[in-house]
Amino acid sequence: MSRNVAAPGTVAAPDRPGRIRLLLSRLYVQCLLGVLAGVVVGSLWPSFGAELKPLGDGFVALVRMMIAPIIFCTVVHGIAAMSDRRAVGRVSLKALVYFEILTTIALVLGLVVVNVVRPGSGLHVDVSTLSPDGLPAEATQAHESFANFVLSTIPDTLVSALTGEEILPVLFVAVLFGFGLQASGEAGAGIAAGVEKLSTVLFRLIRWIMRLAPIGAFGSMAFTIGNYGLGTLRHLALLVGSFWLTALFFVLVVLGTVMRLGGLRLLPFLRYIKEELLIVLGTSSTEPVLPRMMAKLEHAGASKPVVGITLPAGYSFNLDGTAIYLTMGSVFLAQAVGVDLSLTQQLTMLAVMLLTSKGAAGVTGSGFVALAATLSAVPHVPVAALALIFGIDRFMSEARALTSLVGNGVATLAVARWEGQLDEARTRAVLRGDLPFNPDDTAADDLASKEPAGSPREPVPAIG
């Protein structure tokens, strides 16, 4: 048997089995296979597929366990390393301004599409036949006021923020602690160095956990298809299809324009985060990829403080996919039950959604609860009408999560550039593929990120 031997001075190309093994070693390929396998299992063996839900829930729980300490360490170290305290407030203000503008655009876009397509017209649902029985408890409970939402960002104790499930209290405590270290001089510098080393350990742990992502994606997708069935889509296909197309339009056109204004292109960025997109597609949640997104955005040239503040805050304040879902879902339900909303009523509902879209964590089903909060705040559509779309909500949850993930990534790059904390030359090189992301090199990126933006970078050996 003859073998291919490389000529002297050349590198032999890997054989076909070698190329296949290399491809299968990529996380995004493994996640894609997990999603496809979940669809097959859920379709052929629905009962068995529905019982695989713990696989997805367990993976999300493992990642959620790491989110609070990672956010805390990243934000604390980033603020403690900044010489200008006012820069933190400036970054936060710019991020909030950006979030409000993009959220408003998403809400208006959804409102326009649902009024043009009118997916709920012709259903003629009798309101008296609807019942809230079977809906999640969160959807029928009274929802907190905006004042209570603001107060909820303050944890009971300094430590309890790290043991809760909300991101905003963690961010609040981390900002305070970072300022405290910055003002403590030499004593604070020693603690900041320890926090930086702890973050290196945490990112190592999250890398190990992410190896389970294909299993989590498989379990979540098998449960979705097995429990709800693809046949559910036939009844409300127009709503689901128009929502996915609207979300796609928002990503490609609106977010693509934001990237263009910053001198960057969206498609290379989507290729750069393809692994995270597939994980979100499988788990229907943006939480599992938060730590990796933070590491990737830092690797792409955004400074650690901007990433640490903007990305976690975006998980509560910049849910573009949820914003589109709220306007389309609420007006669809009004159309279905025969309620003709005037322009004034729709604009009032939109104003309410600017508040109800905030604070919805990036977990599965949070958008549905936010929609319930919207209907509770406006008397035009009964909350019981949610039963009409409860069965297909999961099929729109993936689009919500994917849109919000891309939106928060673009937001972080935009705020970093606005603040002058984006190494644009490095960003372009990363998006071209010249500087591929390696989870093991996060320590090297931390060292490189301390250089002024735009300064030439020398190769830094990976640590660990």
Q: Is 454 contained in some domain?
A: no
pLDDT at residue number 179 = 80
User: Mean pLDDT across the stretch 216-220?
Assistant: 83
| SS3 at position 46 | helix
pLDDT at residue 65 above 90? no
Q: Which domain holds residue 311?
A: 37-448
Concatenated DSSP letters of 180-218: HHHTTHHHHHHHHHHHHHHHHHHHHHHHHHHTTHHHHHH
Of all residues in the chain, the percent with pLDDT exceeding 90 is: 16
Q: Is 22 contained in some domain?
A: no
User: Mean pLDDT across the stretch 369-377?
Assistant: 71
Q: Is 226 contained in some domain?
A: yes
Counted domains in the chain: 1
pLDDT at residue 411 above 90? yes
DSSP state of 302: B
CA 135 to the chain's CA centroid: 25
- Taking the alpha carbons of 245, 251, 252, 255 in that order, is the dihedral positive or negative? positive
Q: Is 193 contained in some domain?
A: yes
pLDDT tens figures, 172-200: 888 788 888 877 777 777 888 888 888 78
Chain length of the chain: 464
Q: Is 437 contained in some domain?
A: yes
Q: Is 15 contained in some domain?
A: no
pLDDT at residue number 365 = 55
Q: Is 354 contained in some domain?
A: yes
pLDDT at residue number 231 = 62
Maximum Cα interatomic distance, the chain, rounded to a whole number of Å: 82
Q: Is 461 contained in some domain?
A: no
pLDDT at residue number 409 = 94
| pTM, rounded to two decimals | 0.71
pLDDT at residue 249 above 90? yes
**Residue of 71 and 329 predicted with greater confidence:** 329
- Taking the alpha carbons of 161, 166, 167, 172 in that order, is the dihedral positive or negative? negative
pLDDT at residue 391 above 50? yes
**Residue of 268 and 134 predicted with greater confidence:** 268
pLDDT at residue number 213 = 80
pLDDT at residue 258 above 90? yes
Instruction: Tell me the CATH number at 440.
Output: 1.10.3860.10
> For 309-331, b where at least 16 C-beta lie within 10 A, e where not — what string?
bbbbbbbbbbbbbbbbbbbbbbb
pLDDT tens figures, 309-352: 888 888 877 888 888 988 888 888 888 877 787 888 888 878 77
pLDDT at residue number 457 = 38
Residue with tokens 């009024």: 115
pLDDT at residue number 1 = 46
User: Mean pLDDT across the stretch 264-287?
Assistant: 88
DSSP state of 378: S
pLDDT tens figures, 278-304: 888 887 778 788 888 988 999 999 988
User: Mean pLDDT across the stretch 31-54?
Assistant: 85
